Structure 1
Amino acid sequence: MVRFKNRYITIEVEPVKIPKTNSWELDTGKLYKAIVNTLSTLHGDFGVASTTGGFSVKYCNKETKIGIIRCRHGPHKLIASIIPFIKQIDNNQVQLNTLYTGATLHQCYKFIKSYQLNHLRKFYSMLHDVEKHKYFEYEKSAMDLKVFNKTK
């Protein structure tokens, strides 16, 4: 039996016209459709056929707008090449940034954990002591990585 290797691409979705104070939920289905639509536009039927075999969106965090895409090793280069060209998700203008590409979900988990901790440290350094207590709930939701604990 042949073992298929997967690659996990960690991305960050930044809404362009939506202010950071407004909530906009990143959904796995909407992100999947946006990737497949852009893939069919840029790489045609070949791109869609070669990537959809092992392609899925594994994780989306609503607060930090970070997601993980799983795809097969080889066609992952096609998906990685179209990520900067995705400009709309569910009629909202967005900009996607590739943060990390890893071979296992656990490596992506470790990267996201350190990335979010660094982001929170920068955020807390700009606040006064009184304001830090208000953002404790934000920290709990930003570090919500329950999906990864199920996969172990």
Structure 2
Amino acid sequence: MVRFKNRYITVEIASPAVPESKPLSIKSTMLHECILNKIKQLHGDFGVAAVRSGFLAKYCNENTRIAIIRCRHGPHQFVTSSIPFITRIGKLDATVRTLHVGATLKHSFIFIQKHHRTFLDSLWSNLKTDEERSALEAAVMEFTKADVSMIKDNLM
């Protein structure tokens, strides 16, 4: 049998209409349809036909605003070239930024962990009092328990 190589594209979704403290109401199906529409607009029927086989929005976290998109190796270039041109996801104004393109889902999650650690380190250095630091630590520990179970469900 022939092995199909996949690429996992990690993206960050930003919306000026929704504050950073609130979760986005974006589902993976909405992101999937939005990307396919943009590929059709930019690359036509050929681009959509090339991408459609094996294309899936695998993971979409509303709280961290990070999503992982799976597509086949080769046509992933249509996806990566179309992502910066997305301005709306559903009814929400949004900008999508590519963070990482990897060969496995495991490496994409490892990248997400490193990305979050650098973000938390920058937050930690800006805090001045021990009370603020303990509040941040408690919030992170509570959040990671829910996030770890969600990641395990997506890996299965």
1:96-111 pair list within 5 angstroms: 96-111=96-111
Q: Larger deviation: 137-146 or 25-34?
A: 137-146
Unaligned runs of 5+ in 1: none
Displacement of 1:41 in angstroms is 0.9
Q: Larger deviation: 128-137 or 69-78?
A: 128-137
Please name the residue that 1:137 is paired with. Answer: 139
Displacement of 1:62 in angstroms is 1.6
Please name the residue that 1:55 is paired with. Answer: 55
Q: Which amino acid aligns with 1:130?
A: E
The whole-number CA distance in structure 2 between the counterparts of 1:140 and 1:116 is 15
Contact 1:7 1:104 in 2 (8 A): yes
Cα RMSD, aligned residues only? 1.9
Deviations 1:33-76 (CA, angstroms, capped at 9, x unpaired): 11011111111111111101000011111221011000000000
Contact 1:84 1:95 in 2 (8 A): yes
Unaligned runs of 5+ in 2: none
Please name the residue that 1:28 is paired with. Answer: 28
Q: Which amino acid aligns with 2:114?
A: S
Please name the residue that 2:116 is paired with. Answer: 116
The alignment's TM-score, normalised by the length of structure 2, stands at 0.88
Please name the residue that 2:149 is paired with. Answer: 146
Displacement of 1:96 in angstroms is 0.9
C-alpha spacing 1:27/1:141, structure 2 compared with 1 (3 Å):
farther
- In the alignment of these two chains, the number of paired residues is 152
Instruction: Specify which structure has the higher proportion of helix.
Output: 2
Deviations 1:1-55 (CA, angstroms, capped at 9, x unpaired): 1000000000000112222244323321111111011111111111111101000
The whole-number CA distance in structure 1 between the counterparts of 2:7 and 2:48 is 17
The whole-number CA distance in structure 1 between the counterparts of 2:52 and 2:142 is 34
Displacement of 1:142 in angstroms is 5.8
